[in-house]
Amino acid sequence: MAKRIVLLVILALIGLAGGFWLGHRNPPTPSASDAAVAQLLATRLPDLKGSDQAISQWKGKTLVVNFWAPWCGPCVEEMPDLQALSTEFATKNVQFVGIGIDTAQNMIAFEQKVKVDYPLLVAGYAGTDLARALGNKAGALPFTVVVDPQGRLHYEKLGRITSDEVRAALKPLI
């Protein structure tokens, strides 16, 4: 009986070692969030002047991407805080980007009332699919993600984000 137990323990250890070896031998496949960030970085969207902007132009920076719309109350409420944070972190390799889920005309009308110095890009309702890929399963707004300089999803928040939440998300990245 003791020989059987010893044999089973040895076989279990061999199986464990084999699994460990195989797990480290083959490189991990990219996670869904890695693919979503790659999709985000490959995206080109027009700004409020109609010029196409490649999100990849900010690769290598910490990106704070806020999906919003002028008709979204919590989005409008958080916009002044995001503007202030954009100014606060401007010298720390952090880039804020707003991706609007609306028309350029509506976004321009909003921006004339609430001044924002970070890029506002027009995605229309197709931006919802991009937000869903990044983790916004509900498709609701506002939705904010933080992508580290290596292009990995670091943080996501559905709903109104506070200045303290953004600072806490950015702290380990700067």
Domain boundaries, the chain: 32-171
Q: How do residues 103-131 score in pLDDT, each as one tens digit?
A: 999 999 999 999 999 999 999 988 999 99
Burial (Cβ within 10 Å: 0-12, 13-18, ≥19) of residue 43 = middle
DSSP label at residue 171: G
- Say whether 42 sits in a helix, a strand or coil: coil
pTM of structure: 0.81
Q: How do residues 30-68 score in pLDDT, each as one tens digit?
A: 455 889 999 999 999 999 999 999 999 999 999 999 999
Output the average pLDDT for the chain. Answer: 87
φ, ψ of residue 169 in degrees (nearest 5): -70, -35
Domain 32-171 has CATH 3.30.70.20: no
